[in-house]
Structure 1
């Protein structure tokens, strides 16, 4: 029953995340905190509650189950931040979609939010929803020329490191090492 409740929470969070994303399209007043809340709902809730569910099914203590939840939460946030970085740094072939497609659709991710702090003209491009033919390329260049990607990498690394710290309560095992390796893999997608 506990696992059913956890997975029901995931469904609720995902729906809420989609609504949050839809309501905040092209909203240049979006904060990093708002972005992280939406990212939790759309991505990290699944990982957090799935990790906790695995713990519940394994009969771990409540404290360990909570640590697994936080491992999944932090891993999920790191994963999505990396994914958002790749939207600016990876090729269309790797992404399976055009670079910057999140930005063009109005989804303001960490690299964009950080770039907005340095590049005020980016706000103009976003608020007019890339109406001019050169707007998309200008916006991509502004994000790439800012510290937005670097700061996002640092934030992703912080969450990946926190995820590993969350499972320090687990005794050494192949399973624990696999969880650590997964955290390393999330960051390795950047390179």
Structure 2
């Protein structure tokens, strides 16, 4: 049970550590997926409003995926918002859930960078917010690129509003091969 209560902290730590180390001034030059004009994106409706993080749109935007063993992290970031999906039992294309029982090992989160507000959906927030399970569907994964869809309701008991609805989520991302180096 303790691993679920710490999942928000783990998710936030991964997100912050990776976002601070993933980009550098030479990221736009290589053939590693960071080039401008690529077709990597994450998009969703956040409480009914369209949101897109795309390598084609703004230099700041980032879309990336990390796979360490069975732990999958997919993230999309813009200048002021981010969506992060973390699955602890990833085994390839298929449907994954987070939220209502101990088998749903993972978390989905929405973060507003400018306001420092954080909403999430995981096992421990279910006890507080009575939310539906988050759903990630991985439709393809060739080892270089991962693609799929997602939706979740994220909860923050101190947030305003306390629940954020993330719907119609889609992503196409490359895997970062040198994460942590």
Q: Which has the larger radius of gyration?
A: 1
With the length of structure 1 as denominator, give the TM-score of the two structures: 0.28
- Relative to total residues, which structure has the larger strand share, 1 or 2? 2
